[in-house]
Chain A
Amino acid sequence: MKEGDLGFIFATRGVGKTWLALDLALGIAAGRDVGPWKVRAPQSVLYLDGEMSLEDVKKRDRGLNGVIPTLTYISHELLFERTGKIMNLADSELQEAILEMCIRDGFKVLLLDNLSTLVSEVRENEGGDWELLHSVCGGTNNGCVHPSRRKKQLYARPFKAGRCSVLDSSTR
């Protein structure tokens, strides 16, 4: 994956998309290989979680031997507890703020987990609606996690201008 690339982790519920995404995030942040994927150097990673409880984030981070300063989480639960805010990635102001934070803090990889919980006001059947995410899905390395209720091509199409990869984690 190179700067500006976009990847999707795509599978049915309960397969382990979030485990894979967290392992990727921790591996990239720590500079260690993740399965067959080589990590040449540690990179700062920002992980946006819109689904798990904070306790689950802690458990999974601990279970994957986390404690890595170059991986930063934004948990929807912690964000709401501290600020009263709820993330909706269809909001252009939030998109701009995420990009500003990535530039300010030097994050090279942004992981969004997952599109169903982080995005509202988007009709999942309408490919054009996903163009609302163009801003936040460009300019840095991105990974998105999404349950496979729909064909993966639907989600990849709006981002075809850049390099886009789709990983179906159900094929293990």
Chain B
Amino acid sequence: MLLPLQDRSGETVDPFKNNGSVGVLSWVEALTLGACTSSDLQSIETT
């Protein structure tokens, strides 16, 4: 589990916001959600 989920501005985001399905995310939205700066990388928890 990777937490927390934040966009590039630091806002908490919900990838399931679009009708409860990640499948409707556009690629631009997906890439934005998946992006992480070098500065923020170390704060992402991995298991």
A contacts, CB < 8 Å to B: 26, 29, 46, 53-55, 57-58, 61-62, 66-75, 78-79, 81-85, 91, 93-94, 96-98, 100-101, 105
Question: 6 closest Cβ contacts across the A-B interface?
Answer: A79-B34, A97-B27, A71-B38, A83-B30, A66-B38, A84-B22
A124 → B minimal CB distance (Å)? 24
Contact A82 B28 (CB under 8 A): no
Q: A55-B46, A85-B22, A85-B25 are in contact. Are A75 and B34 (CB under 8 A)?
A: yes
Measured between alpha carbons, how far is A84 from B27 in the docked complex, in Å?
Answer: 11
Min Cβ gap B40→A in Å is 8
- Do A82 and B42 contact each other (CB < 8 Å), given the known contacts A71-B37, A94-B27, A97-B27? no
In the complex, the answer to whether B38 meets A73 with C-beta atoms within 8 Å is yes
If over half of A's interface residues share one DSSP class (helix, strand or loop), that class is named, otherwise mixed; here it is: helix
Contact of A69 among B22, B38, B44, B46 (CB under 8 A): B38
Q: Is B36 a contact partner of A72 (Cβ separation < 8 A)?
A: yes
Q: Please, how many residues of chain B have a CB less than 8 angstroms from a CB on the other chain?
A: 25
Known A82-B15, A100-B28; judge A73-B46 contact (CB<8 A). no
Instruction: Select B46's contact among A58, A61, A62, A68, beta carbons within 8 Å.
Output: A58
Q: Which residue of B lies closest to A82 (CB)?
A: B33
A67 in contact with B38 given A79-B31, A83-B25 (CB within 8 Å): yes
Once the chains bind, are B41 and A66 in contact (CB under 8 Å)? yes
Please state if A83 and B22 are interface contacts (CB–CB under 8 Å).
Answer: yes
CB-CB contacts below 8 Å: B1-47 with A:
2, 5, 8, 15, 22-23, 25-39, 41-42, 44, 46
Which of B2, B34, B46 has the most chain A CB within a 10 Å cutoff?
B34
Q: Tell me which residues across on chain B come within 8 A of A82, comparing CB atoms.
A: 2, 5, 15, 30, 33-34
